[in-house]
Structure 1
Amino acid sequence: MKELSKYLIRVDAEFKDGQIVPEIPYEEVMRLVNEPNIVIIRTGIPQDTLRSIIQATRDWAAKTPLAEGPDTFDNNQHKQRLHIAKIQQAPQLFHDHTFDAILDLEEPMKQTLLSVFNPMRQFWNNLTGNNEEYGIRKGEPYFHPQVTHYPLGGSFFGRHWHPLNPQKVGTILALNQYGKDYTSGGTGYVINDHIVETEGFQDMGDMILFRYDLPHWVSPSSFADRFSWDDPAGRWVAILPFYNPWGTPADKEEPQGWKTQIQSAKNATSEATV
């Protein structure tokens, strides 16, 4: 375990029998996330496996029409997202591939994606004390596996946030290498009014963990490059959200509940000593 900068900690792990096994107990990893810190897990997933996710996703998208209507959360789709979120007013520009019905994919696409998403699912279960499987459950939380491409030339995701529960901890797995496959763009966070940037700290195969209600964003890729939806260059990540699409959305105001709780605890301590 190594502190890379303020609120940014790297934890080594071993990829063993298809599972990501951290060098410290899962409970300790979760404690670090909740303090809060941004924790980067060096998963050890083979690079060939990670690159196969990008290639398989591109091949699938090439023969699958772009989705243009509202999200239904019950299929496998890809969409070129270019809009401003209504509630949080967060602008976004990226190519999103969402596999809500991942178990319905044809082979070998299904097994290729599961070679990464199953270890991510098991790791998240170990962190949160859950035992969740894939599958769509209307009216209940379920997994929404996503492969996201941030093309060169100005793709980004504006500052936004999520309800803490039921996700608890967010997961962002790097599918390619900063400094080689892309040279700008990374995920940033706010902790105790301190800006934490992960650009340049997350290598291929590293998985960022963060408390899910922290305000965060994806910084723009360099405008020095020419933007193209068709060019595969740029940042590729796999994420594994777990939520109920028909549940309560994120608040319009930024959630700083953890900060309020810290202050409340201090006040309670002061009153107890009077």
Structure 2
Amino acid sequence: MKEVAKYLIKVEAEFKNGQIVPEIPYEEVMRLVNEPNIVIIKTGLPEATLRSVIDATHTWAESTPLAEGPDPFDNNQHKQRLHIAKIQQAPQLFHDHTFDALLDLDESMKQTLLGVFTPMRQFWNNLTGNNEEYGIRKGQPYFHPQVTHYPLGGSFFGRHWHPLNPQKVGTILALNQYGKDYSSGGTGYVINDHIVETEGFQDMGDLILFRYDLPHWVSPSSFADRFSWDDPAGRWVAILPFYDPWAKPADKDEPQGWKAQIQAPKNATPEVVV
């Protein structure tokens, strides 16, 4: 375990018997996340497994019509996200592949995706004390496996946030390599008014963990490159949200902001804001 920057900690792990096993107990990992810190787990997932997810997802999207209507949260679809979120006013430009009905995919595609999502699911269960499986359960939280592509040439995701529960800890797995497959763009966070940028710190196979109510964003890829929806070049990540899509959404105001909600010590002189 090593602190590589303020609020940014790397934890070694090994990929053993299909599971991500950290060098420190899961309870200690979760404690670090909740302090809060951004924790990067060096999972040891094989490069061939990670790249197969990119290749399979790109091939699947080429033969699957783009989704354009509201998300039903009960199918497998891909969408070119290019809008501003209504509640949080977060602009976004990226190619989203969502697999809510992961178990309904053809066997080859399903097994390829499960090569990363099963270790991620088991790791999240170990962190949070849950024992959740895949499957759509309306009226209850469930997993929403996603493979996200940030094309070269200006893709990004503006500053946004989520309710803490039931997810508790966010997971972002790097499917390809910074400095080789892409050279700009990474996930940033705010902790106690301090900006934490992970660009350049997350390698292929690294799993970023973060307290789920931290404000965060994805920095733009360089405009020096030409943008294309069809070109698979760029940053690819796998994420595994766990939530009820019909429940109350995130508040308009940042949930922990790490500013307005921080309580001043007793007997302290209040700060005057002008």
Q: Please report the TM-score for the alignment, with normalisation by the length of structure 2.
A: 0.95
Paired position in structure 1 for 2:115: 115
Q: What CA distance in whole angstroms lies between the structure 2 residues aligned with 1:137 and 1:257?
A: 31
CA distance in 1, matches of 2:223, 2:66: 25
Which blocks of at least 5 consecutive residues in structure 2 are unaligned?
A: 268-274
Give the SS at the match of 1:263: coil
Deviation beyond 2 Å, 4+ runs, structure 1:
257-264
Contact 2:193 2:258 in 1 (8 A): no
Q: Take 1:267 and 1:4, find their aligned partners in 2: how far apart are those partners?
A: 33
**What amino acid maps onto 1:47 in structure 2?**
E
Does 185-194 or 54-63 show the bigger shift?
A: 54-63
What's the CA shift for 1:80? 0.3
SS at match of 2:107: coil
For the aligned residue pairs, the C-alpha RMSD in angstroms reads 1.5
* Unaligned segments of structure 1, at least 5 residues: 269-274
State how far apart, in whole Å, the 2-side matches of 1:257 and 1:35 are: 15
Partner in structure 2 of residue 160 of structure 1: 160
Give the equivalent residue in structure 2 for 1:181: 181
Residues 219-244 of structure 1, C-alpha deviation per residue, up to 9 Å, x if partnerless?
A: 00000000000111000000000000
- SS of 2:48 mapped into structure 1: helix
Identical counterparts, % of pairs: 88
Query: SS in structure 2 opposite 1:108?
Result: helix
Q: Cα gap change, 1:267/1:133 in structure 2, threshold over 3 Å: closer, same or farther?
A: farther
Letter in 2 for 1:219: S
Q: In the alignment, residue 181 of structure 2 is paired with which amino acid? A: D
Corresponding residue for 1:271?
none
Write the distance in 2 (CA, Å) between the matches of 1:120 and 1:41: 11
Q: Decide which moves more: 46-55 or 249-258.
A: 249-258
Residue number in structure 1 paired with 2:149: 149
SS in 1 for 2:196: strand
User: Number of paired residues?
Assistant: 268
Structure in which a larger fraction of residues adopt helix: 1
CA distance in structure 2 between the partners assigned to 1:218 and 1:22 by the alignment: 26
Aligned partners of 1:210, 1:162: CA distance in 2, in Å? 11
Deviation at 1:263, TM superposition (A): 2.4
In structure 1, C-alpha distance between the alignment counterparts of 2:259 and 2:237, rounded to whole Å: 29
| Aligned amino acid, residue 199 of structure 2 | E
Counterpart in the other structure of 2:104: 104
Give 2:183's aligned amino acid. Answer: T
Cα deviation code 1:2-45 (max 9, x no counterpart) = 00000000000000010000000000000000000000000000
The equivalent of 1:16 in structure 2 is: 16
SS in 2 for 1:248: coil
Aligned to 2:270: none
